Structure 1
Amino acid sequence: MVIVPETPNHRDRIRALLLGAFPSAAEADLVERLHADSDAVISLIALRDEQVIGQAMFSRMIAPFKALALAPVAVALPWRRQRVASRLIENGLQRARDSGWEGVFVLGDPAFYHCFGFRAGLARPFSSPYAGPHLMALALKGGALPILSGQIRHAAAFSAMG
């Protein structure tokens, strides 16, 4: 398995992966809209014999510092529980650090995202339509976010999900 940045040639295979990984087309449509709106910043895929078996996307947020949102993360059913998602996320977080981003927000299962350093407590002081125990943040520089509260907003494509 290799982790590489997606290219336009991968888009149909990514859409097929997302349609198979989620109960509706919402996440596949989200990825397409993030690309169309130029809000996709880092989009990585896991390839096995040229087959797209996983994908993770980091998109631009409106925040009081340079922040990304991590979503969606998907892995084809036969490849789950084999660290595909973990490798995609770890690779994406390193790319975000290397590119000067200061923090990442994710909405998901705390038990899973905690192992990457995401904490609900870091996200709690931020105002967001997604506020709650499943909204978590990760500081990418020095262990602390540069600003500890304020309003955050995901890219417009997220609100279109309904």
Structure 2
Amino acid sequence: MNVNIRQETPNDYNATEQVVEQAFANAEFSDKNEHLLVSRIRNSEGFLPELSIVATEPETNKLVGHILLSKIQIRKNDGKTVESLALAPVSVLPEKQNKGIGGLLISEALRKAKELGYFSVIVLGHPEYYPKFGFKSASLWGIKAPFEVPEFEEVFEELQLKQWRQAKRMK
């Protein structure tokens, strides 16, 4: 499907939240509040406007998809922390799903995150979908979620954009 991918603007906020709400309306593993999560993240210190990205239809400029990456801190086993990103959520209107829009949004967000110098991205997502983009179980790096995750640990995944040992953001 042909879409335009660009950074979200404040004028998009209402339409974005509607897309997110519709995208998760019938999702099996959803609390149906993902649109509220997007709003909370936008009002937090972790919000990075350049990593809030939308997909629009070229003909109508209608917003059909959204992805958000926000700053988080990962505490390593040695007690040090490293800045990372959380991917949550990626949303596509139900009638536009399974047409590659989500994949385009993910690819662009990961490209932009790497360009901005981030070292990794964490996602709580489908273990058969996210590995297409290079994600692996976060447990491989000794990273555990600060909350309980579903019975399959593989849903908590990480993608290293650069090697941890190169991380200048360590504290």
What interval of TM-score do these two structures reach, taking the shorter chain for normalisation? 0.7 to 0.9
TM score, norm. by length of structure 1: 0.83
Structure 2 gaps, min length 5: 26-30, 75-80, 167-171
**Amino acid of the residue matched to residue 19 of structure 1?**
E
- Aligned residues of 1:107 and 1:130 also touching (Cα < 8 A): no
Deviates more, 1:48-57 or 1:121-130: 121-130
Q: What is the CA distance between 1:112 and its match in structure 2?
A: 0.5
Residue number among 142, 145, 161 corresponding to 2:164 in the alignment: 145
**Amino acid of the residue matched to residue 138 of structure 1?**
L
Q: What is the CA distance between 1:121 and its match in structure 2?
A: 5.0
1:7 aligned partner: 9
1:47 aligned partner: 56
Structure 1 gaps, min length 5: 148-162
Describe the shift of the 1:89–1:30 C-alpha distance in structure 2 as closer, same or farther (beyond 3 A).
same
Q: What is the CA distance between 1:130 and its match in structure 2?
A: 4.6
TM score, norm. by length of structure 2: 0.79
Would you say how many aligned residue pairs link Structure 1 and Structure 2?
A: 145
Q: Which of structures 1 and 2 has the bigger CA Rg? A: 2
Residue number among 110, 116, 124 corresponding to 1:93 in the alignment: 110
Name the SS for the 1:53 alignment partner: strand
Describe the shift of the 1:130–1:85 C-alpha distance in structure 2 as closer, same or farther (beyond 3 A).
farther
Describe the shift of the 1:112–1:10 C-alpha distance in structure 2 as closer, same or farther (beyond 3 A).
same
Q: What is the CA distance between 1:92 and its match in structure 2?
A: 0.4
Describe the shift of the 1:29–1:123 C-alpha distance in structure 2 as closer, same or farther (beyond 3 A).
farther
1:34 aligned partner: 41
1:23-42 residue CA offsets vs partner (Å, 9 max, x unmatched): 35411000000011132221
Name the SS for the 1:44 alignment partner: strand
Question: 1:95, 1:61 → 2: CA distance?
Answer: 17
Which 4+ residue blocks in structure 1 deviate beyond 6 angstroms?
A: none
Question: 1:111, 1:146 → 2: CA distance?
Answer: 28
